Structure 1
Amino acid sequence: MGGLIPLGDASRPPTRFAVVTTLIIVLNVWAFFQELTYGDRFIWMWSAVPIRIIHGRALVTIVTSMFMHASWMHIIGNMVYLWAFGREIENAMGSFRFAVFYLIGGIVAMSAQILGDPFSRIPALGASGAIAAVMGAFLITFPRDRIRTFVFFIIFFRITMIPAALLIGFWFLMQVLNLGVVAQAKTGGVAYLAHIGGFLFGVVTARLFVNPQRMTYRRLS
């Protein structure tokens, strides 16, 4: 068992406190505790169920589902990725633009998942589609930056620096390769279509949201 866990940009640390990124994490944690408190009823009420969406019902869940998670590992993993990439993108866009970008990216990602299996009755939930949009924006904005990454494999582990283009590119490749495996599953699983949809949105629109005057050009050795 192994993996890569991004910890943050080692080349270009944020120069401003990431207000929106922090608020998004707080909202996700709050929503997760609501799930733990109220159980399946809460999850069914606020998660996005494709067949309901295509019939024009509970459209608000396209947004609310972005703040919900299926397990402790699900939310912890997503929030780690958001913290690693979101702060610098918020710094480059500005808080308001970043908030708009994040919400639209999440909506696009969830819509891609719904369109991929429109008659599914399985609840779709999670912030990973919106976070994928952030990662796509990071790839376009800071491709050469080095990401401080925790690398582990069975009992081996270390912290190393990996170029953003390599780390994010590898992540996206895994989403594409795994899409064919999960696309026909009817019992749930990882929303790879949401990841791909969100990522492509981030890649295509990043330059529309980034404010060049806010970017930090100093690189650390």
Structure 2
Amino acid sequence: MFPIRDHNPSGRVPYVTYTLLAVNIAVFLFYWFSLPSDFALAKFYYTWGVVPAWLMQGEGYSGLITHMFLHGGWMHLAGNMLFLWIFGDNLEDQMGHVGYLLFYLACGVLAALLQVAGDPSFDGPLIGASGAIAGVLGGYLVLFPRAKVDVLFIFVIFFRVFSISAWIVLGIWFAVQSFNGYAATDDGVAYLAHIGGFIAGAVLVLPVLMRRGGAGFWARNQGKPPHPAAEYPVTPSRIPRVPRR
């Protein structure tokens, strides 16, 4: 189950979201195809990622920013960019371009610091935009809890798109991250960074909510972005129906 779109496109062009998408993709393509070996790739990750053990020794602080633009593979990149594409534009619309960029970077840094605090002796590199994007999800949940999100549900051979409120989609996402983090699932995913980024985003967006009127902002817009909802009509299938005999 994963989201594919929301029903409230931004009221203005989300230049920062587009730029973040482009930079992440360009950086990934650059090193993925230019580095000659797995050893060179690992060295690149160590140089530009966050290594908790090094950070605790006062080294590698630049990685707190650069790690957000690195990914470990195509699916890692695609998943992060999908979430940023769906949820980033409405947040940028409310925060403004500069405010949104600072918010995004702050969430990524705080997410990485929580992961470091949880395992300060870890000597591997932390990479990925997941912490920053988790902040975007947390901010989106606070501002637009009732926005409709289309979710593709796949069960074996069953495929179906459902429209679900954002608070359900993002609540489930956060619950999964929390459960896996608590269970210390050993799958190479930095769940503490996801949790930290989400909480940071939910907290850092509160001044924006207060400036918009707090609960009054929710009431005026029914908990959705203040734009007309997009309609996604289902077109009839071109496959002819075969009636029963």
Normalising by structure 1, we get a TM-score of 0.90
* Match in the other structure for 2:140: 138
* Match in the other structure for 2:197: 198
* Match in the other structure for 2:3: 6
Contact 2:11 2:227 in 1 (8 A): no
Can you list the C-alpha shifts for 1:18-72, whole angstroms capped at 9, x where unaligned? Answer: 1101111111112212331222222221011111111111100011001111110
* Match in the other structure for 1:28: 24
Contact 1:48 1:61 in 2 (8 A): yes
**How far did residue 7 of structure 1 move?**
2.1
Higher relative contact order (CA 8 A, sep 6+): 1
Can you list the C-alpha shifts for 1:188-219, whole angstroms capped at 9, x where unaligned? Answer: 61110000000001111212245639x95244
Specify the SS of the correspondent of 1:182. Answer: coil
Q: Name the larger-Rg structure.
A: 2
**Alpha-carbon separation, structure 2, partners of 1:14 and 1:58:** 37
* Match in the other structure for 1:212: 212
Can you list the C-alpha shifts for 1:70-117, whole angstroms capped at 9, x where unaligned? Answer: 110000000001111011111111111100000000000011111110
Paired AA for residue 132 in structure 1: A
What is the number of equivalent residue pairs in this alignment? Answer: 214
Is 28-37 or 125-134 further displaced after alignment? 28-37
Specify the SS of the correspondent of 1:44. Answer: helix
* Root-mean-square deviation (Å): 1.9
Q: Percent identity?
A: 37
Contact 2:149 2:165 in 1 (8 A): yes
**Alpha-carbon separation, structure 2, partners of 1:156 and 1:92:** 37
Paired AA for residue 93 in structure 1: M
**Alpha-carbon separation, structure 2, partners of 1:99 and 1:189:** 27
Mapping for residues 1-221 of structure 1, pairs under 5 Å: 4-10=1-7, 12-36=8-32, 37-38=34-35, 39-182=41-184, 185=186, 189-209=188-208, 212=212, 216-220=225-229
- 5+ residue gaps, structure 2: 36-40, 214-220, 232-245
**Alpha-carbon separation, structure 1, partners of 2:114 and 2:208:** 21
Paired AA for residue 3 in structure 2: P
